[in-house]
Amino acid sequence: MTNENNSLLSSFTLPNGITLKNRVVMAPMTNFSSNQDGTVTDAEVEYYARRSSGVSMVITACTNVTPNGQGFPGEFAGYSDDFIPSLKQLASGIKEQGAKAILQIFHGGRQCPPDLVNGDVVSASNIPSEGEGNPVPRGLSEAEVEEMIEAFGETTRRAIEAGYDGVEIHGANGYLIQQFFSPHSNRREDRFGGSLEKRMTFPLAIVEKVKSVVKEHAKSPFIVGYRFSPEEPETPGITMDDTLALVDKLSDQGLDYLHVSLQDFHSTPRRGVEDLSKTRIDYLLEKIDNRVPLIGVGSIYSAEDAKKAFATGVSLLALGRELIIDPDWVQKVEAGKEDEIVTEIDKDRQKELVVPDPLWNAIIHTPGWFPGV
């Protein structure tokens, strides 16, 4: 292990007192591999377990908090106590390998395929996503919004009962929580919409609900994180300055981490701030000002990529595609074998890489998604 890697492999204590063994976490990634009834498959558990011994924390793929929140085929569910044994199976598979298990909780909102939600596609307002053929969602009533907040709380309780070490509130990637924050999808005129501050009401209410459930039900420290996307391409849409305002609020909510969703760690803002050459990460770190840890992510493959990213000052780094390509990434860095890290998918090694068929098929049939495809 070289000195340069020491900081990346050093332990890190979260605000709630839980210590992570190093600064590398597995990013949440949809894997399309659950059973049709919303329970996890053995193949899915094995896939996670294979990647759980090097990293300090594994953030699972998203689980839907209501039946009409399913965003993908082959997604595991968390909307009923009936799913606690399934959720527990996944948590155990991760924890047995030495990583903290974090359940990502979400609702797909207007991005839910109608056939997966019995046609009940809902959102903040009745505005479809841009593009051809997207369903027009039904705007949730105020009472339904309150029920949705409760549903996030209930799924948090299930995560606690299933043995997870924490939850990540998925407020990114254009799903329901982001839809309430976005001026594109949220055209409401009640307390959940209108001004920038009112569009924060739903995300902040979910944070408050989740924290209150943790306080009531968790018998030991329990991690609560929040993931967000910094900008939207649409006009109107979320701009970098909108996100900095939200992050400013989130930084004072007593969360254990914030997690930015980026395709490229070093990407720059598209609008809404003065200096468009300064990276989004730099803007976020400046705004957060050490109030809460930030997880950075985005096209980090080699050890050199990770060192450059970590040098920006983020507390933790999330690896997504790279841990599918090389599940032993952390172990190779620990052993000083960075030159042995694989950075392109080997299409002949599905079995050794322990990747379920649905995810593997998605990878090899989506050119450009993974290096080597």
Q: Which residues are catalytic?
A: 175
Q: N- to C-terminal Cα distance for the chain? A: 31
| Amino acid at the residue 52 | S
Q: What is the C-alpha to C-alpha distance for residues 197 and 159, in angstroms, rounded to an integer?
A: 30
C-alpha torsion 181→24→154→169, nearest 10: 0
Taken in order 151, 155, 158, 160, is the CA torsion positive or negative?
Answer: negative
Q: Which structure tokens are listed for 317?
A: 């780094």
Q: How many CA atoms lie within 13 A of 289 on its CB side?
A: 5
Q: Which structure tokens are listed for 168?
A: 């990540």
